[in-house]
Amino acid sequence: MKYLQDLQWRYAAKRMNGQTIPAGKLENIKEAVRLAPSSMGLQPYTVLVVEDPVLRAELAPVMFNQPQITEGAALLVFAAWTSVSEDQVDDYLGNIAETRGIPVTALADFRTMILGAVKGKTPEQVFQWNARQAYIGLGYATAAAAFEKVDSTPMEGFSPEGVNRVLGLDEKGLSAVAVVALGYRDEDKDQMAKAIKVRRPAHKFFTVYENNAVPA
């Protein structure tokens, strides 16, 4: 399958060559992230799109100066909602009602379910829950980039406080959980560009349950 070849092709580029990404490709990658599933459809995160080189240079010091930050063409910063408010839930329900042409009152049970799920968690658990949804989006970003033959490097190595400060996220109720640098690999400078992809062999990564038996 073509998509598996593309996923084989992708790797976390360590060095990028500064080439810009055609606007259409970046829009497609963003659209894939927007279409990613999330728990109850809430999409409890925001994606910050930073192409501006000045702002990327400002981010570099709070991201351990990894070369892709400035050598890439764009950063997608996945920022999880630090909590889930009733207003955010109502915005979501309003969007469902408008999109599907139904009265928002028809969503009363769903509203109770979402708010119940939130209230059943500690604030830290809510944040972790939101962060996990953002990682689904991160997955979609890296896959879509591969289909667009754009390189992508997921990054967790940064100071969330620093990134939040530079991007003004605290006051938006957001906190950065992961970043994807998008750009084009520099095959001359990146010694990983030609390295064989390493993945756990299927027989170790998967456990297949057959005939109602729990494998040893």
Query: Applying CB under 8 A, which of residues 14, 19, 47, 110 lies at the interface with a copy of itself?
Result: 47
Per CB under 8 A, 199 contacts a copy of itself: yes
73-102 positions binding a copy of itself, by CB under 8 A: 92, 95-96, 99-100
Between residues 67 and 154, which has the closer beta carbon with respect to a copy of itself?
Answer: 154
Give yes or no for a contact between 78 and 137, defined as CB atoms under 8 angstroms apart: yes
Locus of tokens 């630090």 = 82
Region of 13-21, 62-70, 140-148, 182-190 interacting with a copy of itself (CB under 8 A) = 140-148
Between residues 7 and 17, which has the closer beta carbon with respect to a copy of itself?
Answer: 7
Burial zone of 114 (CB within 10 Å; 0-12 exposed, 13-18 middle, 19+ buried) = buried
Query: Applying CB under 8 A, which of residues 46, 111, 160, 173 lies at the interface with a copy of itself?
Result: 46
Q: Which residues contact 163 (CB under 8 A, 6 or more apart)?
A: 59, 62, 63, 77, 169, 176, 179
**Shortest spacing between CB 67 and a copy of itself, in angstroms:** 17
Q: What are phi and psi of 155, to 5 degrees?
A: -135, 130
Per CB under 8 A, 23 contacts a copy of itself: no
Per CB under 8 A, 159 contacts a copy of itself: no
**Shortest spacing between CB 172 and a copy of itself, in angstroms:** 8
Burial zone of 138 (CB within 10 Å; 0-12 exposed, 13-18 middle, 19+ buried) = buried
108-127 positions binding a copy of itself, by CB under 8 A: none
Rounded Cα distance, 168 and 176, in Å: 11
